[in-house]
Structure 1
Amino acid sequence: MRIDLHTHSLESDGTQTPRDVVLSARQAGLDVVALTDHDTTGGWEQALATAREIGIGFVPGIEISCEIDHRSLHLLGYLIDPADTGLAQELTKARDSRESRAHRMVERLSADTGLQWADVEKRVTAGATIGRPHIADALVDIGRVCDRAEAFDKYLHPGTKYHVGHYAVDPVRGVELVLAAGGVPVLAHPFSHVTGRVVADSTVEAMVEAGLMGIEVDHRDQGEQARAHAEQFARRYGLIRTGSSDYHGAGKPNLLGENTTAPDQFEQLVARATGSTQVFLPSRRRGPWVAGESPEGT
């Protein structure tokens, strides 16, 4: 079983529709793929329908932006109930803050680059969670940079005069919200030096105490030492260990399936969820599931 539990679509900062993400996952030889757009469940329905159509496993998820001590981190929430009031309100607040922040960044960029809000709007799908990647793509479109990477290096990283922060929930509160929505909270790439979001051990421990269930160990932005450190946390606290691509289509070099989650870890994740019923896991000869059924707990 090849399982990739971290991907993004046009509903946030990926470059493919949810349908195309699932089709690409199938083409990449995956058996199960999760869609984890930032602060939105908007792509679930299309992704699920596509998964059923082509016979690939699908797991609904989200990626929630969190912040503590001026340090950002990301929390993955799998199999949540999208109708849960507390989490839904938090996601709306986060999306509204992201859009306000994007407007302010474009205002700052305008004088030096000529970027206009209309340029960014062309890059955002209706209803999608807006983020810096959309601004980066707009800067590419107007010829100020060659690609997203250059846009972030030159204009969009936190050290530039153009950068503006946005609202992000406390990570412990984030774990509590995912649990209340019946989901499985997993800390995404916590020790990634590449992104500058190295999470303090004390923060991980506080999240574990709040009910954190998993940690993303295998991720391209975590080197050998970082993965070993994440593995230590998993062993010490009995956390589910995941591996994922963090696929964004053409928005990042990350490839579907370049890191995967072991089947036994995936089974634990699905079994602990009590929220969403939108998981689809078709039978596989080498898999643990009976034809037409999902693992217990879904």
Structure 2
Amino acid sequence: MRIDLHCHSTASDGTDAPGGLMAAAAAAGLGVVAITDHDTTAGWDAAAAAVPAGMTLVRGAELSGRWYGAGQSVGLHLLAYLFDPGHPPLVAELARVRRSRDVRAENVVALLNADGIDVGMDEIRGQAPGATVGRPHIARALVARGLVGSVNEAFAPEWLGRRYRLPKTDMDVLTAIGLVGAAGGVTVLAHPRAGSRGHIVPDALIAELAAAGLWGVEAGHVDHEPADQEHVRALARELGLRVTGSSDYHGENKTVRLGAFTTAPEVYEELAAAATGTPPLAG
């Protein structure tokens, strides 16, 4: 059974609608697929209504987290699986982060406009119907205007990579782990050694997260070299964490395909058994 536990839809910054994601997962030969849009559960219902026969849906989200230490902070992403989407404290935190994404987009537009680049929020929101606006939606609006040739080009330093890059509000990662656990879910640290994204999560911090209740860590990922994957696996063994692998699929916004990396069936079974918030949904 092929299992992909990290996929995005148009509910955040993917290009496949939730139902289309289910169809694509079936076509890719997946037996289990997770929908993990950024800081939202907005795609859950549509995905659940479209699960093909013989496939299982894991409902989740990718949380924007940050660890705060003495005079420093580390940004990271936390995959949350099978939690209760109505748990009030978690709902409030997710809403706060989504609002910050909208504010960031408006501020990026103001910077672009100040430099004579006539891009508006209406056309950016047109790239994200029903979704919280993210940087990929701004990138697609720049492509549609002919200002850049591709989404990748839009993330170059002279564009969204540096000149027009602004921070957003994140969840305190220790708080996030606690909230997901209280909502009956389990947490997995996403792509901890994705150096191409500009950060590597220190091993000591992963140990702190494990002590706080982190359930697993993502080793198989397109942004992990083989040595990175082995490093993560060795650390997971040391800390007693489970190891997952996933595509981090975003449709046409990235080149990675569904099932590029997968999770072992026995790890998935442990994950499903550990969660009490929202069960996996079989088609």
Give the alignment of 1:1-298 within 5 angstroms.
1-51=1-51, 53-68=52-67, 69-110=72-113, 111-126=115-130, 128-153=131-156, 154-157=158-161, 159-160=162-163, 162-277=164-279, 279-281=280-282
Deviation at 1:115, TM superposition (A): 1.5
Contact 2:192 2:200 in 1 (8 A): yes
Distance 2:134 2:80 in 1: 19
Deviation at 1:200, TM superposition (A): 1.5
The CA RMSD over aligned residues, in Å, is 1.2
Which residue type is aligned with residue 25 of structure 2? A
Distance 1:70 1:140 in 2: 33
SS of corresponding position for 1:176: helix
Identical aligned residues as a percent: 43
Aligned residues: 277
Q: TM-score by structure 2 length? A: 0.95
* Structure 1 unaligned residues grouped into runs of 5+: 283-298
Distance 1:142 1:256 in 2: 29
Distance 2:2 2:58 in 1: 13
SS of corresponding position for 1:34: strand
Which residue type is aligned with residue 280 of structure 1? L
Deviation at 1:7, TM superposition (A): 0.3
Deviation string 1:222-273 (CA, Å, 9 cap, x unpaired) is 1112111110121012211100000000010010001000001111111100
Q: Which residue of 2 aligns with 1:293?
A: none
Contact 2:53 2:282 in 1 (8 A): no
Q: TM-score by structure 1 length? A: 0.90
Structure 1 runs of 4+ aligned residues shifted over 6 Å read: none
Deviation at 1:179, TM superposition (A): 0.7
SS of corresponding position for 1:206: helix
SS of corresponding position for 1:156: helix
Deviation string 1:74-120 (CA, Å, 9 cap, x unpaired) is 00000000010111000000000010011000110122422222220
